[in-house]
């Protein structure tokens, strides 16, 4: 290790939006790409590396063993405009929402449906963040990653990132040595809004009446809806949607509709159906219900909150109870959305 000041104290607290107690055994704060060789040198002989942006999608254990990297490198630069596309490089440590605001301010439209999602730019491709009918993969050209084992930079084209609903190759254990350093976005110069999601569909009606809808209007609407629907983690600790919305075939969906005519769902382009996990959890009577310090949010049944003093084990116990009830009532398995280390 060439520069000991990269290390913060051993067993230092790792802040996370769920406010779970967590101490990192050894923590490295990555502030610049120039620090990457020193980082590889430091982790070379260590088996476990945890990469963390802002810990808004993590259910952390009391002690995070091994090596932890907090990704904090910053920078945004317009690379070029060609073929009707704007290419912009954004460093992994940039705050996602700040980048969305910055892009909108420059007239680089497209990201407005993804406003106010907590977290960093580097974590956005990991679970292919999505909201209001848009997933981030749509705007990704390529990703620069630092291979911690080989101490090498490489560039991955969007097609090699295996993007799917809340998933990518970066979630696989075998890729845990790939640190996302920056993301190259490809934003269309000729912008078209995405308004198919129920909460935004009134804009689509207005558009068909000949009204022009701006990216700023879509951004404002998304921010407003999110503020009303989702608890702010700085006030009520949470990690966003705790369960993925399960995707089922049309056949399975028709079966479920027969026994649950009010089933809330969203038809995908593939013909499959995405079921509203929050609705199913609500039907099982969990909305607003607390077990010890873990409470299902009273307005959004998909969100588990820490009312004070909860640990990783408390949260996972409640998650298991909820998924057991949903399985018993609907025959559908729920999958946890946040990443859970040492569970």
Ligand X SMILES: Cc1cc2nc3c(=O)[nH]c(=O)nc-3n(C[C@H](O)[C@H](O)[C@H](O)COP(=O)(O)OP(=O)(O)OC[C@H]3O[C@@H](n4cnc5c(N)ncnc54)[C@H](O)[C@@H]3O)c2cc1C
Exactly one of 54, 56, 168, 241 is catalytic; which is it?
241
Q: Is 337 known to be catalytic?
A: yes
Q: Which two tokens stand for residue 4?
A: 């000991």
Say whether 241 is catalytic: yes
> Shortest approach of ligand X to residue 279 CB, angstroms?
17
Which one, of 10, 28, 57, lies nearest residue 340 by Cα?
A: 57
User: Would you say 119 and 180 are in contact if contact means Cβ atoms under 8 Å apart?
Assistant: no
Whole-number minimum distance, CB 3 to ligand X, in Å? 20
Closer residue to ligand X (CB): 127 or 312: 127
CB within 8 A of 136, min separation 6: which ones?
Answer: 114, 124, 125, 128, 129, 130
- Rank residues 202 and 227 by Cβ distance to ligand X and give the closer one: 227
Q: How far is the CB of 338 from ligand X (least distance, A)?
A: 7
Q: Which residue has the tokens 């050894």?
A: 26
Please state whether 251 falls in left (phi above 0), alpha (psi between -120 and 50) or beta: alpha
| E-state strands within 114-206 | 130-131, 134-135, 140-147, 152-157, 178-188
Closest to ligand X by CB, 23 vs 256, is 23
Nearer to ligand X, 153 or 206 (CB): 153
CB of 199 to ligand X, least distance (A): 12
DSSP assignment string, 272-304: -EEE-HHHHHHHTT-TT-EETTEEE-SS-TTEE
Residues within the interface to ligand X (CB under 6 A) = 17, 51-58, 71, 92, 117-120, 122-124, 126-127, 129-131, 170, 179-180, 230, 233, 238-240, 339
Can you name the residues that pair with 85 across neighbouring β-strands? 82, 188
* Distance in Å, CB of 126 to ligand X, minimum: 4
CB nearer ligand X, residue 58 or residue 90: 58
Catalytic residue among 166, 168, 239, 323: 166
Q: Which of 94, 112, 135, 337 is catalytic?
A: 337
Q: Are 3 and 293 in contact (CB under 8 A)?
A: no
What is the token pair recorded at 130? 């999505």
Catalytic residue annotation: 166, 241, 337
């Amino acid at each position: 290790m060439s520069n000991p000041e990269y290390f913060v104290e051993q067993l230092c607290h790792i802040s996370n939006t769920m406010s779970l107690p967590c101490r990192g055994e050894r923590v490295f704060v990555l502030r610049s790409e120039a620090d990457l060789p020193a980082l590889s040198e430091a982790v070379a002989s260590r088996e476990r590396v945890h990469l963390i942006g802002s810990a808004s999608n993590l259910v952390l254990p009391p002690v995070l063993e091994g090596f932890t990297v907090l990704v904090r490198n910053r920078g945004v630069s317009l690379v070029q405009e060609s073929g009707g596309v704007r290419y912009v490089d954004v460093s992994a440590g940039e705050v996602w929402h700040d980048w969305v605001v910055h892009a909108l301010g420059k007239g680089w439209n497209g990201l407005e449906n993804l406003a106010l999602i907590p977290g960093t730019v580097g974590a956005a491709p990991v679970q292919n963040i999505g909201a209001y009918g848009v997933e981030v993969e749509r705007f990704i050209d390529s990703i620069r990653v630092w291979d911690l084992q080989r101490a090498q930079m490489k560039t991955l084209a969007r097609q090699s990132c295996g993007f799917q609903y809340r998933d990518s190759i970066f979630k696989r254990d075998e890729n845990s040595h790939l640190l996302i350093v920056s993301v190259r976005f490809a934003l269309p110069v000729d912008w078209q809004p995405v308004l198919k999601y129920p909460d935004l569909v009134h804009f689509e009606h207005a558009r068909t009446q000949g009204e022009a809808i701006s990216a700023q209007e879509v951004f404002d609407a998304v921010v407003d809806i999110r503020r009303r629907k989702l608890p702010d983690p700085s006030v009520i600790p949470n990690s966003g949607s705790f369960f993925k919305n399960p995707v089922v075939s049309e056949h399975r969906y028709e079966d479920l509709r027969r026994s649950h005519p009010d089933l809330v769902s969203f038809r995908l382009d593939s013909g499959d159906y995405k079921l509203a996990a929050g609705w199913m959890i609500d039907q099982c009577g969990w909305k607003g219900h607390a077990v010890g310090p873990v409470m299902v949010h009273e307005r959004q049944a998909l969100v588990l909150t820490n009312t004070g003093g909860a640990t990783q084990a408390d949260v996972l116990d409640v998650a298991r109870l909820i998924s057991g009830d949903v399985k018993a009532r609907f025959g559908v398995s729920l999958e946890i959305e946040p990443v859970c280390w040492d569970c």
